Structure 1
Amino acid sequence: MILAAAHDMYGTVVAQVGNPTPEAPPISDKILQMVRYLTWFVLLSGIAAITYAGGRFAWEKWTGGGLQSPKMVAGAMIGGAVATSAGTIMNAVIG
């Protein structure tokens, strides 16, 4: 009997809550601006890393040293792919 009353009360409370619509927080525009700046910085650092690795690759080939720069290029490219698809990944995980 107590369980039935609790179940009825729970159903009444849930029915009153309804389906809320999402609303942006008050400072969301500043947060989104910061995210855009960080995205720009990540892309710029990826371009710098690939440029540096390409120059190092040329130097290693010219001097005949060990080749470590192809790993750097691959790492920068994989990091860039993950960084630019971060929003899609989060939507897949959360949604």
Structure 2
Amino acid sequence: MILTAAYDIVFAQIDDPSPEAPPGSEKVLKMVSYLTWFVLLSGVTGITYAGGRFAWEKWSGGTLDSPKMLAGAMIGGIVATSAGTIMNAIVGT
């Protein structure tokens, strides 16, 4: 009971700070947007390549290694596009 009261008194005096970008962060944010664009481009390229290779392997009767490539590209795309949501869930309140 005493610890709860002390906890309430100490944390009642601390404000909930709102996040704001530090000075000069525009360049970092621009770099992050370029990196996001590159990740999306590489994901589309990977899925397109894996799809073409899958068609070639089916046509030529070779071993089917491309479904793993396709699944990997799709899972990587899901993780890459949901990175912001994942970080907000972990770090955010």
Q: Same fold (TM over 0.5)?
A: yes
Query: Alignment RMSD, CA only?
Result: 1.7
Q: In 2, Cα distance between the equivalents of 1:65 and 1:80?
A: 27
Amino acid at match of 1:33: K
- The answer to which structure has the higher helix fraction is 1
TM-superposition CA deviations, 1:46-88 (whole Å, max 9, x none): 0000010011111101110000101111110010000000000
Q: If the length of structure 2 is used for normalisation, what is the TM-score?
A: 0.79
Q: 2: CA distance between counterparts of 1:83 and 1:77?
A: 10
SS of alignment partner, residue 19 of structure 2 = coil
Distance in structure 2 (CA, Å) of the matches to 1:76 and 1:21: 36
- Is 1:32 aligned to 2:33, yes or no? no
| One of 41, 46, 51 as aligned partner of 2:43 | 46
Query: Matched residues, percent identical?
Result: 73
In the alignment, the residues of structure 2 paired with residue 54 and residue 87 of structure 1 have an alpha-carbon distance, to the nearest angstrom, of 28
Equivalent pairs, count: 82
The normalised TM-score by structure 1 is 0.78
